[in-house]
Chain A
Amino acid sequence: MRHLVILGAGTAGTMVANRMVRRLSPRDWTVTVIDPETVHLYQPGLLFLPFGDRDEQELLRPRANTLDEGVTWVPQAVRAVDVGGRRVETDDGRSFPYDLLVIATGAQVRPDLTEGMLGDLWQRSAFDFYTLDGATKLRDALERFKGGRLVINVVEMPIKCPVAPLEFAFLADAYFRRKGMREGVEITFATPLDGAFTRPVASKRLGHLLEEKNIKVVTEFACGSVTDGKVVSYDEREIPFDLLVTVPTHSGADFVTRSGLGNELGFIATDKHTLAVKGADGVFALGDATDVPASKAGSVAHFEAETIIENLERAAAGKALEPSFDGHANCFVETGDGKALLIDFNYDTEPLPGKYPLPGIGPFSLLEESAINHQGKKAFRWIYWHGLLPGKPIPVPAHMSMAGKRPAEEA
């Protein structure tokens, strides 16, 4: 008997487990998933909770219901991976040998890595919205907010869903307008990068959104500490806040560093085209857990899964790996008032305008606000639970395509 072991049952791990169990013969292979969390969280839904959505129960499913019957789920945390001995140890002292291993343990937010972040103001006037706890507490705080300085700060890159902080700023603008109190709220977006938009075409086409929405942007702001109601950068600039929405530093899972597989933040050194973990035979990684220069986003995990599945089968058969992952990402970006943008890009091609997925027709518009894009984002939750996670075919190609797009020079 041979063993496929998958660490983590988020978007990436669940998709891979459910699809591999149908491809591998149960007479020859076992498929085991190790994840201590007993519920699966639909993370894209978190963005809407602070602005009044109360459907958090719809964002959760019991883990057991998301995994195929043929998959063995072990509800334990991983203590370490021994890549030499080809085994995984869990916190309860058990040891799981593997022939093939997939690491899909994602990224976690680490407010503890910023000096002063977890002080007196934490969850009183400083919140994250990347956790269910943070997003629901922030909802209460926004409801109570009487006006003043709202600061949205990305502490450092990389983060999950890199567009979410900007979406948060847009939705906050719309939220306070709806409540008739926008004039009493100063919204500041502080980023460690050199602009809210960093890609030339997006920057040119979307830069006006921030000005129109009266969102102040502070650039190249690397947050070093939070003290006395101010975020302070390493070069000693200060931004005072009445309400801070922080996107904390992210790190990989703790066992990654313990097992010597991680970079400075615990992300796994992974080949960006084959998704094989560097220096570890029979080990693959996908989703937010890797260090590949793609966005940490569900769509990326989805497209990576195509490559991983192909390469697991190749590895099982002793064949050479296919370097097929192109960095493809496809993300809806909420801009407020029931509209959204859609962006589609990869390692080599920046987000460009056009129509998607059908060239010239859409129905989605790339790099342009539309109500249909917003409906697409909202409808995606159903597709996630009923199509993506169970591993049913989704009619979008894994590789990025230029069809229907206007090249950068033209745009």
Chain B
Amino acid sequence: MKKTYAGVEVEVDAEGFMTHPEQWSREVGVAIAKEQGLGALTDAHWKVVDFVRGDTASQGQSPGPRRIVQGSGVSMKDLYALFPKGPGKLVARVAGVPKPKACL
């Protein structure tokens, strides 16, 4: 499936998560955030998004909240304020990485 963000055509899965992280750019991230109702992204948002992108690339899986908190330096409370309702999934969307998942 394809979708266009900030004039860039990207591959997404059935739930709208990007499947090719290399197609992502900060402009694409901003457009996804807007679509998700997040409004303007602050430095704190970017701290989280940058960590999640780097970590997913090196680990081969999207990090959970505990790992995001430790790696990005943002507190758990702030993480939920920045990305309300399940930050793992929302961050993954904005960062253009697969959603955190289990085996089934």
Contacts and interface: CB of A to CB of B under 8 A. Distances in A.
A343 interface: yes
Interface stretch (A96-104, A193-201, A369-377): A193-201
A163 interface: yes
Interface string A283-302: 00000000111010100000
Interface in A307-328: none
A103 to B, nearest CB: 18
Contact of B102 (A162, A222, A249, A263): A162
A234 B76 contact: yes
A235 B84 contact: yes
A333 to B, nearest CB: 7
B61 interface: yes
Contacts of B80: 234-235
Nearest to B79: A234
Interface string B63-104: 011110011000011011000111011000000000111111
Contacts of A263: 67
Contacts of A89: none
Contact of B59 (A157, A163, A220, A291): A291
A293 B60 contact: yes
Contacts of A13: none
Contacts of B15: 200
Main secondary structure, interface of B, reads loop
Contact of A293 (B13, B59, B77, B84): B59
A184 B76 CA distance: 36
Given A263-B67, A264-B67, A293-B59, A235 B104 contact: no
A288 to B, nearest CB: 14
A210 to B, nearest CB: 12
A369 B40 CA distance: 47
Interface residues of A, number: 38
Given A264-B67, A293-B59, A219 B103 contact: no
A202 B85 CA distance: 24
A202 to B, nearest CB: 5
Interface string A327-338: 001010100000
26 contacts: A162-B104, A163-B104, A192-B64, A192-B65, A192-B86, A193-B88, A193-B101, A198-B101, A199-B101, A199-B104, A200-B13, A200-B14, A222-B86, A234-B65, A234-B80, A235-B80, A235-B84, A235-B85, A235-B86, A249-B66, A264-B67, A272-B60, A293-B59, A293-B60, A295-B102, A343-B103
Interface of B: 13-15, 59-61, 64-67, 70-71, 76-77, 79-80, 84-86, 88-89, 99-104
Interface of A: 156-158, 162-163, 166, 192-194, 197-200, 202, 206, 219-220, 222, 224, 234-235, 249, 263-265, 272, 291-293, 295, 297, 329, 331, 333, 343, 345, 347, 351
